[in-house]
Amino acid sequence: MNMIRSALKVCIPILLLASGAAFAQEAATTPTFKLLYTAPQTFLAAEPITLVETSVGTFNGLSIAQNNAFGASIFSMDYFGNVQNVYTAPPFFYIAAFVQALDGRFYGPGWYMQSSLNYQYISVDLTGSAQSYKTAPWIPGSWSLTSPAGLIYNFVSASVGGAFVFAQIGLHGVITPLHQFSGSDGFPYGGTNLVQGQDGNIYSIAFKSLSGISTGWLYRMTPQGQYTKVVSLPVAGAGGLAAPIVAASDGNIYGAFPRGGATQTGMIYKVAADGTYQKLLDFPATGMTQPAFLVEGSDGNLYGSTDGGPSYLFQVNLKTLKLTRLHKFQPNEGLCSCSLVQGMDGKLYGASPLGGLYGLGTIFSLDIGLPKPKPFVSSFSPTTGATGQPILLWGRNLLGASSVSFNGVAAATITVNSTQAVYVDVPSGATSGPITITTPNGTFTTTTSFQVP
């Protein structure tokens, strides 16, 4: 269980707001919490840590429970909490995390808990068909980031020497080192994820300790592996204990330190696009403490969970710097830190790896009246092509895409591989102009024109 907690270090207390901001105890609209699933003693979908919506109304999740009868598993779940197992790894096989790549498959690092030398990268499709790739001499890290180039970015370390390396991982498990961390680069912090900013670069947190004092910073990595320190961060406690960060739609990076702030019980901060650091919220000494997970909602605000038991779900309004407590967990409802994701129906869905009736975790939803997330296309490639040319649309909230048109000419076939990736062929009669995509939640038109020769 310590591994679960260290991998998902997520906490969120009753925030004491900086700059004189007010604190709201309850949401303006009463949130509706619903316990969707409690992992049974049979260990089906036990200790869930991740949910990804893979089609409108259906999630896939990763459960990390493993023993001498089975390993970690991937399951599916609908909006009503009906769970079915999709894939089960061999006994004692642990999968640290997964991401869905542009081919629609799930990819993640794993290893046998009884053997530290058998590291693998696992690929599983929606039907449970799996492939594995040995990663020696590299040991892959837990956090992965998928990209429109068909590659996955991750940290790896050498099995001999232990150097940390930022690397690309191909969809067939080939690892290409891009940047080896030097002493001045610090160490990539394992409790913090990789995110891609609006500038196309990748951001995360590094730290190091000198004479027992930890220092840390946000850094930027280009997709080619060029490393730059962006800004120093206050790092509280051994190892920094930084929670996952968010690359928000406003162009800023948001994050939390569960043991930071005035009372060492948590804080939330912002790093602007120009690298300016700003502390937003301090957490009080008691109550809802230790922010451990953040996600951006469709209203542009932050939502998260806390780890400073009892567990809470909360909102941070970024315009008013007001914290709203959304839900306090009862013992049967789960024990965070909990990962959160917003569904295409607007509700927040979460996975708790601990707690519940049998202590094996829960899955829940929270309805606070958020608008349904609208589609957004950040890029398309290639940017030019004739009739029949396959085009990748890359963005967010693209599930359920029903039509794609090129300057008003509708494409005949649409393939939705993930919430980020849609493939479409250039239709006959298309002319140069913007691309428009329509999902059940709305329509988005690109500001950049696709060129037809």
pLDDT, position 213? 55
Find the helix or strand (DSSP H, E) in which 85 lies. strand 83-88
pLDDT of 116 higher than 90:
no
Residue 278 burial (CB count, 10 A): 11
Q: What is the pLDDT of residue 212?
A: 55
- Judge if 2-367 and 376-445 fold alike in CATH terms: no
Give the closest residue to 60 by CA, choosing from 48, 72, 73, 74: 74
| pLDDT tens by residue, 289-342 | 888 999 999 999 999 999 877 899 999 999 999 888 899 999 899 999 899 999
133 burial (CB, 10 Å; 0-12 / 13-18 / 19+) is middle
What confidence tier does 429 reach under pLDDT thresholds 50, 70, 90? Answer: very high
CA distance 409 to 35: 45
* 309 vs 274: which has the higher pLDDT: 274
Q: What is the CATH number of domain 2-367?
A: 2.130.10.10
User: In sequence order, what DSSP letters do the residues of 326-361 get, joined into one string?
Assistant: EEE--GGG-BS--EEEE-TTS-EEEEESB-STTSS-
| pLDDT at position 4 over 50 | no
Which pLDDT does position 208 carry in this prediction?
81
Residue of 239, 234, 230 whose CA lies nearest to 195: 230
Q: Domains of the chain: which residue ranges?
A: 2-367, 376-445
pLDDT in tens, 371-395: 999 999 999 999 999 999 999 999 9
CB atoms near residue 250 (< 10 Å): 13
Kindly tell me if the per-residue pLDDT of 449 is higher than 70. Answer: yes
What's at 361, amino acid-wise?
G
Q: What is the pLDDT of residues 12-69, one digit of tens each?
A: 222 222 332 333 334 446 899 999 999 998 888 999 999 999 999 999 999 999 998 9
Q: For residue 241, which of 9, 2, 13, 14 has the smallest C-alpha distance? A: 9
Confidence (pTM): 0.91
pLDDT value at residue 371 = 97
**Mean pLDDT score of the chain:** 88
CA angle 271, 228, 321 (to 5 degrees): 5
The pLDDT of residue 117: 62
Beta bridge pairs of residue 422: 393, 416
Instruction: Specify the CATH class of 376-445 in words.
Output: mainly beta
